[in-house]
A and B are shown apart, each in its own frame.
Chain A
Amino acid sequence: MTNKSRSQEARVASTRGLLLAPALLTILVVSILPLGLTVIYSFLTPGTYGGVTWDFSTSAYTQFLFEEDIFDGTMAFNGAYLSIFLRSIGLALGATVGALLIGFPTAYFIATKPREQRNFWLFLITLPFWTNILIRTFAMLLIIRDEGLVNLSLMWVGIIDRPLSILYTDTAVFIGLIYTYLPFMVLPLYASLEKLDFRLVEAAYDLYATRFRVLRHVIVPLAKPGIVAGCALVFIPGLGAYITPELLGGGKKLMIGNMIAIQFGSSRNWPFGSAAALILMALVIIVLLVYARTAGRQGRTHG
């Protein structure tokens, strides 16, 4: 009896291990292995023609903030890379706020439509995903360039007499980031607002709250999980964006993504590229931890 049940347990355990194996293998190959390689590379010395030589060095990390004087070997502070990081954070934050300001009314609009119409509007929101991001970004380039739709129509109306040079500026990158990541803001916001009980809005309105105060005291607090999720979903990929700053920033206005790409390409400094990628990842993890803490608090009080 006991023997039988023990052998059964053993069989169940081995089956379970066997069934888990593909998943564990996938995690190992696609996640832990590349990440491990990146960590190892970041502590090596760059090879002359790309690649690495197997000599331990921390210079990839010190290079991020300091520059070694080529004559006397002393280290001096160099803010160039730091400023690229800060600029990236600024642009990603700006794009997040912009996407929130556009996305919130959009999501609210869809959530208040009759149920059978909502899928149509959601379909429109997800439509851009049907084409390649590269093509969408080129389309945006055509719209905002000097002879583009925006400038031509503004001049035709007579608001301006010379084209606004938007392309290849921070503004262009900012517009491109908002455009690219807006659906990631709208969808979680919609999911939150769709669950909102609009009788609560009526109740607040009944209790002397003006429209703006209903929004501030009832709708926004209740949509907070969606707001936080949407912001994380725009900020994180926005921080590492590559195509948007490459095309719309003209490669002059670098973001972290472009800088890392250059290290693996023309600069032939793989260890520094790896280190920069890990620093970016650390930033993202910090954002995710803040998100998890906010979400956790939400869960506790609303449990």
Chain B
Amino acid sequence: MPGAEIYGDSMPNAVSARSLKKIFGQGEDAVRALDDIDVDIRENEFFTLLGPSGCGKTTLLRIIAGFELPTSGMVLLGREDITELPPHKRPVNTVFQNYALFPHMTVAENIGFGLKMLGRDGGDIDRRVGEMLELVQMDALANRQTDQLSGGQQQRVALARALAPAPKVLLLDEPLAALDLKLRKSMQIELKSLQAETGITFIFVTHDQEEALTMSDRIAVMRAGKILQIGAPKDIYERPSHRFVADFIGDINILEGADVSLEGGRRIVVLKDGTRLEASAPDDWNSDGGISVAIRPEAATLVQDRETATLTGTVENVVYFGAASNVHVRLSSGDAFVVRHTGNHDIASLSPGDQVGAVIAPDQARLLQ
């Protein structure tokens, strides 16, 4: 049955973590860098670990690379337990944050280093290094010293060096952080196509939510050593399960609700001033943690007619930033609310103090834990 193994559990994951814990320090100073992490990263996937600094994403990456031993738990590569295997015995390579290129070697020697250590013969190494140089478009600079390269070029060499031994998994530790914005944008697209071209599983660590959304097949959002949500970029953005996730990824308005009722299968949230709006919720949602409704600024549209509007309020400020404007509104409930306005025809007439209404697109208000 062709294609049958794509479904079901028969296909092993590229990397799996099983109840992974990492505690740094002891006693009162102990820090739980990883707190019971379970995650399955699929073959040929661009998987991103996203979170603020100190959330444990780099620790998880370093455990997969073999630089750190977990306090407890297990790391699987395919079906093999690699928890205690040293880095040089794992078919996993890393692109380091500051590239860590060997300064005493040329570009070609850097790229060939892994193959040389694996004991490949010279002809093989030369051929593979040539392929890699071509892949990252660095052919012309093969014999340069690494300190004569620009940041973007060093980035390419670091990528080629890590890809040359054809690892099963490539780990990338915030590799774009040091590049300027334009270069970062183009490298994002390049990395994504490189991953598709090589068919290698990429595990990418970043604190940049936009970067994560642009490149990933799936994203794991982390905070304080835990994974809060795993999903495709669209899921994470449109259906965040957690207030932190909603807040961390993109801009969002959070409104405090007073009550939630089910009316004909629809969840209706009543705000403090009696305003009613329909909202979706994660499957396991309950009101124990309070009632918060999240609405993306672009999910709301300003309208003149305040009778049909979901929310009403007063304009406080209009911030113009090129492609769009943010209209800051003080709602009648007293909450602050931002509407992203992409058309500019009627914005010119808006000024602080104007009374406006906002319509929320269906299914765009979401209850959060």
Chain B residues 323-362 with CB under 8 Å of chain A are none
Among B87, B101, B102, B145, which residue has its beta carbon within 8 angstroms of that of A301?
B145
Instruction: Answer whether residue B103 sits at the interface, using C-beta atoms and an 8 A cutoff.
Output: yes
Question: Are B67 and A202 in contact, CB atoms less than 8 angstroms apart?
Answer: yes
Instruction: Answer whether residue A197 sits at the interface, using C-beta atoms and an 8 A cutoff.
Output: yes
Question: Are B102 and A302 in contact, CB atoms less than 8 angstroms apart?
Answer: no
For B66, list chain A residues within 8 Å (CB). Answer: 206
Question: Are B100 and A202 in contact, CB atoms less than 8 angstroms apart?
Answer: yes
Instruction: Answer whether residue A283 sits at the interface, using C-beta atoms and an 8 A cutoff.
Output: no
- How far, in Å, is B214 (CB) from chain A's closest CB? 26
- How far, in Å, is A297 (CB) from chain B's closest CB? 12
Instruction: Answer whether residue B79 sits at the interface, using C-beta atoms and an 8 A cutoff.
Output: no
Instruction: Answer whether residue B207 sits at the interface, using C-beta atoms and an 8 A cutoff.
Output: no
With A199-B96, A222-B104 as contacts: A206 and B65 at CB distance below 8 Å? yes
Among B89, B98, B113, B147, which residue has its beta carbon within 8 angstroms of that of A302?
B147
Among A197, A204, A210, which residue has its beta carbon within 8 angstroms of that of B113?
A204
Question: Are A206 and B102 in contact, CB atoms less than 8 angstroms apart?
Answer: no
For A202, list chain B residues within 8 Å (CB). Answer: 67, 87, 94, 96, 100
Interface readout for B75-111 with A: 1 if CB under 8 Å, 0 if not? 0000000000011110011101010111110000000
- How far, in Å, is B123 (CB) from chain A's closest CB? 19
For A208, list chain B residues within 8 Å (CB). Answer: 88-89, 114, 117-118, 165
For B65, list chain A residues within 8 Å (CB). Answer: 206
Question: Are B117 and A213 in contact, CB atoms less than 8 angstroms apart?
Answer: yes
With A199-B98, A202-B96, A205-B87 as contacts: A222 and B103 at CB distance below 8 Å? yes
Instruction: Answer whether residue B168 sits at the interface, using C-beta atoms and an 8 A cutoff.
Output: no
Interface footprint category on B: 20 to 34
Q: Closest A-chain residue to B171, C-beta based?
A: A206
Interface readout for A76-111 with B: 1 if CB under 8 Å, 0 if not? 000000000000000000000000000000000000
Question: Are B103 and A204 in contact, CB atoms less than 8 angstroms apart?
Answer: no
Question: Are B104 and A302 in contact, CB atoms less than 8 angstroms apart?
Answer: yes
Interface readout for B99-139 with A: 1 if CB under 8 Å, 0 if not? 01111100000000110011000000000000000000000
Instruction: Answer whether residue B161 sits at the interface, using C-beta atoms and an 8 A cutoff.
Output: yes
Interface readout for A269-286 with B: 1 if CB under 8 Å, 0 if not? 000000000000000000
- How far, in Å, is A210 (CB) from chain B's closest CB? 6
Question: Are A200 and B88 in contact, CB atoms less than 8 angstroms apart?
Answer: no
For A218, list chain B residues within 8 Å (CB). Answer: 102
- How far, in Å, is A212 (CB) from chain B's closest CB? 11
- How far, in Å, is A200 (CB) from chain B's closest CB? 5
With A199-B96, A199-B98, A301-B145 as contacts: A207 and B114 at CB distance below 8 Å? yes
- How far, in Å, is A207 (CB) from chain B's closest CB? 4
Instruction: Answer whether residue A209 sits at the interface, using C-beta atoms and an 8 A cutoff.
Output: yes
- Docked complex Cα distance between A200 and B114 (Å): 13
With A199-B98, A301-B145, A302-B147 as contacts: A206 and B88 at CB distance below 8 Å? yes
Instruction: Answer whether residue A203 sits at the interface, using C-beta atoms and an 8 A cutoff.
Output: yes
Q: Closest B-chain residue to A213, C-beta based?
A: B117
For B96, list chain A residues within 8 Å (CB). Answer: 199, 202-203
For A217, list chain B residues within 8 Å (CB). Answer: 113, 117
- How far, in Å, is B198 (CB) from chain A's closest CB? 17
Q: Closest B-chain residue to A199, C-beta based?
A: B100
Question: Are B100 and A200 in contact, CB atoms less than 8 angstroms apart?
Answer: yes
Interface readout for B54-78 with A: 1 if CB under 8 Å, 0 if not? 0000000000011100000000000
Among B86, B102, B118, which residue has its beta carbon within 8 angstroms of that of A204?
B102
For A303, list chain B residues within 8 Å (CB). Answer: 147
Instruction: Answer whether residue A221 sits at the interface, using C-beta atoms and an 8 A cutoff.
Output: yes
For B162, list chain A residues within 8 Å (CB). Answer: 206-207
For A199, list chain B residues within 8 Å (CB). Answer: 96, 98, 100
Q: Closest B-chain residue to A222, C-beta based?
A: B104
- How far, in Å, is A110 (CB) from chain B's closest CB? 22
For B94, list chain A residues within 8 Å (CB). Answer: 202-203, 206
For B118, list chain A residues within 8 Å (CB). Answer: 208
Q: Closest B-chain residue to A205, C-beta based?
A: B87
Among B93, B103, B104, B145, which residue has its beta carbon within 8 angstroms of that of A206?
B93
With A202-B67, A204-B113 as contacts: A210 and B100 at CB distance below 8 Å? no
Q: Closest A-chain residue to B93, C-beta based?
A: A206
- How far, in Å, is B215 (CB) from chain A's closest CB? 22
For A210, list chain B residues within 8 Å (CB). Answer: 88, 117
- How far, in Å, is A205 (CB) from chain B's closest CB? 5
Question: Are B145 and A207 in contact, CB atoms less than 8 angstroms apart?
Answer: no
Q: Closest A-chain residue to B118, C-beta based?
A: A208
For B88, list chain A residues within 8 Å (CB). Answer: 205-210
- How far, in Å, is B368 (CB) from chain A's closest CB? 39
Q: Closest B-chain residue to A221, C-beta based?
A: B104
- Docked complex Cα distance between A182 and B243 (Å): 61
Which residues of A pack against B, CB within 8 Å?
197, 199-200, 202-210, 213, 217-218, 221-222, 301-303
Rank and list the top 4 A-B pairs by shortest CB-CB distance, nearest first. A207-B114, A203-B100, A208-B117, A199-B100
The 22 sampled A-B contact pairs (Cβ below 8 Å) are A199-B96, A200-B103, A202-B100, A203-B94, A203-B100, A204-B113, A206-B66, A206-B67, A206-B94, A206-B162, A207-B113, A207-B114, A207-B161, A207-B162, A208-B118, A209-B117, A210-B88, A221-B104, A222-B103, A222-B104, A302-B103, A303-B147
With A207-B117, A209-B113, A221-B104 given, name 18 new contacts (CB 8 A).
Answer: A197-B100, A203-B100, A205-B86, A205-B87, A205-B88, A206-B66, A206-B67, A206-B93, A206-B94, A206-B162, A207-B93, A207-B114, A208-B88, A209-B88, A209-B117, A210-B88, A217-B113, A302-B104
